[in-house]
Structures are given as structure tokens and as C-alpha cells.
Homo-oligomer: A and B are copies of this chain.
């Protein structure tokens, strides 16, 4: 088994339609994420998506009601995966500061290794979908957001975090991290281990009491 035989397998996969049902859905999701991350929602016509994913145009609509639903579903997939990653080793019982650093490192680690997920997420957040989504999120915090709120409230109670609104806490804590990840992905800076730590640490400086 070498690179050539693997290519030949891919050839079969595309041409001989040996993709299973799950394969198809996965292929669509993967291709859509790549295309949208790189070209944006409007730079990714369904026809291009179907072509690159190696499926018929109508096939996409078996898995996703329409383009909007596909876009939201894609975001949910990323969100779910990230939350799972975050919660896997979350140090629930450790001090607020340690939890804060854990979250910051997770965000950086996860998205630096999944640049497509990151760029997709950025596009999503900055779009009509994103605003609607954000509104719902603030009303009904779940997953990592729920952790963050707990963290925030615990920090407030213990007087280790400043007296600020939750929303502002999010902004101070995570905005620089997100921007730094973006700059890393776009090649404007390289985040080594020291720098990562420095960034998270600086964010902590901005919220700690």
C-alpha cells in the first residue's frame, strides 16, 4: 500500500460510488467547510459544492433541507466537536484561575489544529446567522458557555474576577485569544508555546481582580 494505491482507492471512491450513506454526509460536510472557509458562503454555490464533494446536486438536499440549514448544521458540528474537546479534561474542581487557563489553552490548541473550523466559525459568527445564534446563546447558555458562566460566577463570588457584566467578561477573556488564533492562521504571527501562554495569561490579567 503506497501513495499510488491510495489515490486509486480515492478514484474508486469518487467514480464507482462506493461511498456509504454516512460517507456522503461526511463528504458534503467536509467539502462545504473547506469551500466556505476559503470562499465564504456566497463564494460557495451548491453546484460547486456538489461537484467537489463528488455527489449529485440533488443529493445535498437529501441530507440538508436547504443551504441555510446546511450552514447552521455545519456550525453545530464544529461547536459540538469543540465542546467535546473542551469538556474532555475540564478541571471542574480546580481553582478559577486554573480553569480559565485551561479554557484559553483549549481554544488556541483546538482551532490552531483545525484552521478550517476556525475560519468557518468566524464567517458564521459574522453573518445574519451569527447574530441570531448569539442572541439565543446569551439567553440559554449551554456547553462551554455554561462552563464559562459557572466559572464567571464562581470567580465573582471568590472575588478573583472583576465586577463586570458576563458579556464583558467574555469579551475580555476570549476576544484577544480568538484574534490571535486568526492572526496565526492567516500567517501574521506564529503562536509558539510561550506566546500562547503569554496571551492567555494577559487575558487573565484583564479579568482578574
Interface of A with B (CB < 8 Å)? 39-43, 122-123, 125-128, 131, 134-135, 138, 162, 164-165, 167-168, 170-172, 175-176, 178-180, 183, 186, 188-189, 195, 198-199, 202-203, 205-207
Contacts and interface: CB of A to CB of B under 8 A. Distances in A.
Given A175-B178, A176-B175, A195 B183 contact: no
A127 B176 contact: no
25 contacts: A40-B128, A41-B42, A42-B42, A122-B126, A123-B126, A125-B126, A126-B127, A134-B186, A134-B188, A135-B188, A162-B198, A164-B195, A167-B189, A168-B176, A168-B189, A168-B195, A168-B198, A168-B199, A170-B179, A171-B175, A171-B180, A171-B199, A172-B203, A202-B206, A203-B206
Nearest to A201: B206
B186 A171 contact: no
